[in-house]
Amino acid sequence: MSRATRTLLLFILASSLTLGSSQLQLVNPMLPMAEAQAATQAKNLVFLVSAEGFNKTKDLSITVNEGDLVQIKLVYDDDYIGDNPHTIRVQGYGVEGTVGPKQREVTLTFRATETGSFKVVCGNETCEGHENLQGFVIEVKAPDKPTGAKPEPGAPELQKPAVRPNLAFSVSFPKIIRQGYALAIQAKMLDSEGTPIAGFPITFYTNSTWGPVKIGSAYANASGVAVLAYTPAREGVFQFAARFEGAKGFEAASAEPVIKILPSLTTLPDNEPILGIKGSVVAMVGLVIASVWATYAYVLSRLFRIATAKTTPTQHGESGKPSEGRTTVPGIRAGRLEEAS
């Protein structure tokens, strides 16, 4: 199925949706059934967060395998009376969450798709203990290769890890979407058995005059759901897209629903330079300009009268004949200036 056919199919599907349940599912029918699933594990970890550091230490390191689903549960462990939030971020993966007196637990979920060292840090520079929350490192290493005898020459190659088949990808919106009001877009990924696929980044797009524009991205949580907050700036019918770009062991998938955004219920802030009095100001300026042009018209009417005036003799005694006409210039005395000019 070509991309155009798929888009058309999506459009037809999306058009049939009601606002009450604007949800769209896309299954990747192109993927073959895999013979084996990727050998990954879920890493469920819990850490205490306080002004003294992660688990009350400044330096902390854990190791996970590439492809692992990492779920880090952060529990706030201070007794502050006031607010002292810590925005904890996994650098390189872009996943973050906030814990503090008001929200004492948060879970960061991501799939360890890249090998290397990734710091987990607090991004709130004003919090108490900020400097102690900079030393947590996650090492992502490639899985150990199986040991054993080397394959004999001529033996068939080992099969590569198969991709996860039949991803079910869905995007859902609230029942009513209005211009200027924040909404939560949710994208969900499940495998063919209905198991959530967690920890991968989902990127959201919308169409614009200049083509697709990225509006944000979010990581799928343990339920396979990625949530993005978004405030539509314009009313109208728009095509959205949520895309999973694929990863080792997983094919890419996307859904592209068409959503109608209703007009705002309230008047949005007016940024026009002339507030409120625009109409009357324009009318006044228009009146002034019209007056100027009316004056021009009046002067031109005087020219018309000059052109159509009767050529009777004047106080200077012209006869009106052009050939004798030095006195046709008012006030001129025979050739005073012309001699010089």
Q: Of 194 and 322, which CB lies nearer to another protein in the complex structure?
A: 322
- Region 272-331 residues binding another protein, contact defined as CB under 8 A: 272-274, 278, 282, 289, 292-293, 295-296, 298-300, 302-303, 305-307, 309-316, 318, 320, 322-331
Reading the block at residue 136, the tokens are 């947590």
Given the complex with another protein, which of 149 and 299 has the nearer CB atom?
Answer: 299
Is residue 337 close enough to count as binding another protein by CB under 8 A? Answer: yes
- Give residues 175-214 in contact with another protein (rule: CB under 8 A): none
104 or 316, CB closer to another protein?
316
HSE-CB of 93 using CA atoms within 13 angstroms: 32
DSSP string, 11-29: HHHHHT--GGG-EEEEE-T
Token pair recorded at residue 114: 């890249």
| Tally of helices (H runs) and strands (E runs) in the chain | 2, 18
Query: First and final CA of the chain: distance in angstroms?
Result: 88
In the bound state with another protein, the residue whose beta carbon lies nearer, of 117 and 314, is 314
Residue 327 CB, shortest distance to another protein, in Å, is: 7
Assess contact for 159 and 146: CB atoms under 8 A. no
Q: Is 271 in the site for another protein (CB under 8 A)?
A: no
Size of the site for another protein (CB under 8 A): 45
Residue type, 25: Q
Q: Can you tell me whether residue 133 is helix, strand or coil?
A: helix
Which residue in the set 145, 160, 175, 336 belongs to the binding site for another protein (CB under 8 A)? 336
Question: If we measure between CA atoms, which residue out of 174, 184, 188, 173 comes closest to residue 222?
Answer: 188
CB of 1 or CB of 306, closer to another protein: 306
Nearest distance from C-beta of residue 189 to another protein, angstroms: 38
Helices (H), the chain: 3-15, 278-308
In angstroms, give the least distance from the CB of 309 to another protein: 4
Residues that bind another protein (CB under 8 A): 272-274, 278, 282, 289, 292-293, 295-296, 298-300, 302-303, 305-307, 309-316, 318, 320, 322-333, 336-338, 340-341
